[in-house]
Structure 1
């Protein structure tokens, strides 16, 4: 019988993928996405400062179907990242650290960010 050497460090063959791991990755990705979305906000502000023609062009771009999808994603990214930060703040007080509580907070972060984003867009975009 041959003995396989043990890995030197833990990796995906050792760990099983969990919702808390996924939310950790998504939290980092939303942080990066927030930079890109903030650049879009700066572009809109610069167009507004430049005059009505550039503002109308940017509004046309953001009002297109692809622009709306990007802005919706940016909104979700902001809300999800904020709620992830609150979750980490709660963990700083050593609350919600039990196994079931960690998973519940991760799922709550995902569900709440989606619902809050839909609420924001319903009130400020789709109804207005």
Structure 2
């Protein structure tokens, strides 16, 4: 799952926030070597309580230790990510890469910010399951 800051969510014509926009998948300076994600399954079954545990681990790994209430966690399977990338002639790898505070950290590697169509496809067709932070029941830091 990938954290999507509130300003990286799609906003419709009525100013209603939706899912992740393509900017949510742009590599940031913190994304050293690949797109940072958290493997839910590292913590257990892919269910609501385990997703909260994964979200807490993600929060522990970021310098601010804060998540935007209107941010979200978008989810996709490794198979869906690889299949989507293959459609754009990219052979991505999902590599388990624990970081301090988040033993479930992983990276999606072998693409870059110039892959605009792939990033847009990730947003619209791959990371389509998501939960808003304020609705997840994440305990305070």
TM-score (norm 1): 0.31
Higher relative contact order (CA 8 A, sep 6+): 2
Q: Greater strand percent: which structure?
A: 2
For the pair shown, which has the larger CA radius of gyration, 1 or 2? 1
TM-score (norm 2): 0.29
Q: Greater helix percent: which structure?
A: 1
